[in-house]
Structure 1
Amino acid sequence: MFPLFRKKKKEDIQLEGLTNTIDSAELVDSPQQGDQDSEVKTELSIHPLWNVSKEQYYVFRFLNNELPTLKPNQLSLSGIQWEETPEGLSVTAFIRNSLKKPIQLEEVPLILLDENREVVAKHTFNLHDAGEIPAESSRPWTFVFPKESLLKDHLQKEGWTLAFDLSTKQHQLDLEPSWEQSLPDEEKKKLQQLVSQLEPPKKNELNFMGLEAKMLQSGDLAVTLLIRNGYEKAIQIQQLPLRIIDANDAIAAEGQFNIGQLEIKPNTTKPWTFIFPKNNIKKSAPDLSSWKAVVIQKQD
């Protein structure tokens, strides 16, 4: 029986841990949905194999009602309580899903932080047994950190955080479905090797790296860029004003691109080709032996 169920007074029942929230694209492959400024209140979802009494259900429902709302397309962990067990440290928390569809988590690295944000334990959990987390729901689940995963031997009862460990995730190539279908396997392999060899973008940085620029027979200029996202959230690009600078530091082309809804997932690089029409070419026969792409700022 969880210690919180032994508490008789309602005012004594509370969430002992804090909340950690990430963009869902960090762990699940799902397109962004919904108004990003709206709020999602997650409904309580008890695992079908959990046999909980009415009292226990009411306690979970009470705690779930105390949780902060989420933005669309987020995953979150909200700590309920922890206790020592013969196996290690048993941590109970809500797994929260604000997506408009159910998700199934598998291998997920987690860390346990103390009140000073120092790591107490880290372990990779197979969450297949947690089952499918319904859309816009919160599911209580217990995570057991084995004794060998503990890095500290002291943890306050309140103020701790169970968090997704994103430090283990390497910067990766992400292709749009159209590229995935049309690009030869050999070209995909070359891109993957290039992305793995490049130094990742800095944290909370979005940058553009030139990959290829060539004049077409039509007189248009085709420029392929690597769009590199160093944020821990997905970036949506709808419009992009670009300027191409050639080897002589001259403006070769510039124009405004209405992309629609191009999503750059967290910690990924996405290639994209921009076609500058002839009337956007600013220099005849630009020297493209070396070049760079610059996002035009409003004051430019």
Structure 2
Amino acid sequence: MVKKVQKTKTSNVSKDAKADVPTVLSLVDHDQLIMSDVQKEILKDEIDELPPIKEGELNVSGIYAYDLEDKLEVKAYIRNGYSKSIALKYIPFILLNSKGDKLAYQMFNLEELGEIPSGAARPVKLYFEKKNVYVDKIPLNGWKIAFDARLKALKKVKVSYQDLPVMDTNNRMVLESFLDELPDLNEGEFSISKFSIGLDTGGHILATIIMRNATSKPIKLEKMPVSIKDQNGNVVKSNIFELNNFVVNPLKAKMCNFVFPTNIRVQENISLDDWEILFKSEPLAKVPKNAQN
């Protein structure tokens, strides 16, 4: 086993330098339940020996590298110096020696780590496949683990509605609840979610969607292809809609309705919750000649 605690040089810094961020142990729920108090104390001691990190820094520090013959096990701590929680997904890690030579390189899926709170240090074990390890032996001293320079931390973003039409309190609460229950949105993402599909008494299929913008810029949409599938997967309607300068502002959510006329008449509005909306043009399902449109 190659065990070490990464050290960093200290130097005088100006009064404008970013402050150090103290980090504390943070475990995923499963580890929190099964780990003994003794194990947790060991982890806390390891964190205390790590060099400090700065505000706005995402850091990975290696503890040991252990050769398992078919794999290389590396234990590390990921520490979050941001003011918000972060979530990591596919992250490339590099092992380097003291000269900066690459010892190993591999991409890892860190979704199971969940959200790492601000000021948290979360332990992780990374298993490098031997094909991704470029040396026969990791040096006892002078190695470190680092993120690839292309790393992006995924910050969760909360958005709020813009330009909601006038409606009663109950309907507004339904919309707000729907927004809160949507999957997390990461910084830089744009998403479209189905809110409802229904058939009204006027013979129209009405599809309502919610667009969310987690980018720092307004997103303008001019046209959108929309297709509707029934519960059997048949495309019943398809059209390209002109959106007339439709803009979703940064960190906002905006509702949009698409209306498809039909020849169907009903006595009351009908919900079509098991129908699907697609944002592309699709050929309509073939209808028997003797069937009514």
Larger fraction in helix: 1
TM-score of the aligned structures, taking structure 1 as reference length? 0.46
Work out which of the two has the higher radius of gyration on C-alpha atoms and give 1 or 2. 2
